[in-house]
Amino acid sequence: MRPAPPGTERELLERAVALAGLTLQQVAGRIGWPCPPDLRRNKGWSGQLLEEVLGTDAGSLAEPDFRTLGVELKSLPVDARGRPRESTYVCTVPLESSAGSWEDSWVFNKLRRVLWIPIEADPAIPLPRRRVGAPLLWSPDPRQEALLRRDWEELMDMVCLGELERITAHHGSVLQIRPKAADARALTWGVDASGDRVLTTPRGFYLRSRFTAEILQQHYIIP
């Protein structure tokens, strides 16, 4: 059912281009998946559908989806004007490890090469009829990488200094930290200002939608 992973970026892009313009129902039908009426009880369904159809090979490891290519796959819900409707989850925030460098960070290693696939997400369109957009293979340009790096360094400084409870989604110009858990009761270990281990909410890094909007505006043409 699941195709072999693409061997090259070109092959990956060809597979993705072949999906452009299809509805989610049509894409799901190709691999025998039923299309749910909405995403209410399965928020990641369309992202998982694209993984399955395109043949990712990283599972749920903390690595790019196409590990042999070093390419991360991100679906991007867009409104009628082609603007992202939501922020984009990047990865878990390491709450216990020491600083490390930007180059070694999960954030950088996931975002250095991304295949963005816009998906119509206007709530007026029933999920099965929403169309997949044209794919975009992207790497951050120097300015974008500098913005990401600065946010990451500031946020990770706060994490490492035990200022986790001070971090809100207001921090960061393009990259932010928000809760990432089953619910608000979920707990994991972090470090407080005294350096002691404390239980806290698991967090994730997210890209603000104005950042992904910029990426699409620069490169993407609405079909």
Partner DNA sequence: AGCTGATCATAT
Partner DNA sequence: ATATGATCAGCT
| Residues of this chain that bind DNA (CB under 7 A) | 38-44, 46-48, 50-51, 59-62, 65, 72-75, 77, 85-89, 91-92, 94, 106, 110, 119, 121, 123, 168-170, 176, 178-189, 201-202, 204, 208-210
Q: How far is the CB of 128 from DNA (least distance, A)?
A: 14
Query: Based on CB atoms, which residue is closest to DNA, 199 or 221?
Result: 199
Q: How far is the CB of 136 from DNA (least distance, A)?
A: 13
Nearest one of 37, 31, 61 to 49, comparing CA atoms: 31
Query: Based on CB atoms, which residue is closest to DNA, 14 or 38?
Result: 38
Residue 1 to residues 45, 191, 193: CA-CA distances in angstroms? 17, 44, 50
Query: Based on CB atoms, which residue is closest to DNA, 61 or 142?
Result: 61
Q: What is the total residue count of the chain?
A: 223
CB 134 within 8 A of CB 20: yes
Question: SS3 sequence, 19-36?
Answer: CCCCEHHHHHHHCCCCCC
Q: How far is the CB of 222 from DNA (least distance, A)?
A: 17
Q: How far is the CB of 99 from DNA (least distance, A)?
A: 16
Query: Based on CB atoms, which residue is closest to DNA, 11 or 33?
Result: 33
Q: SS3 for 114?
A: strand
Question: How far is residue 78's CA from residue 111's CA, in Å, rounded to a whole number?
Answer: 19
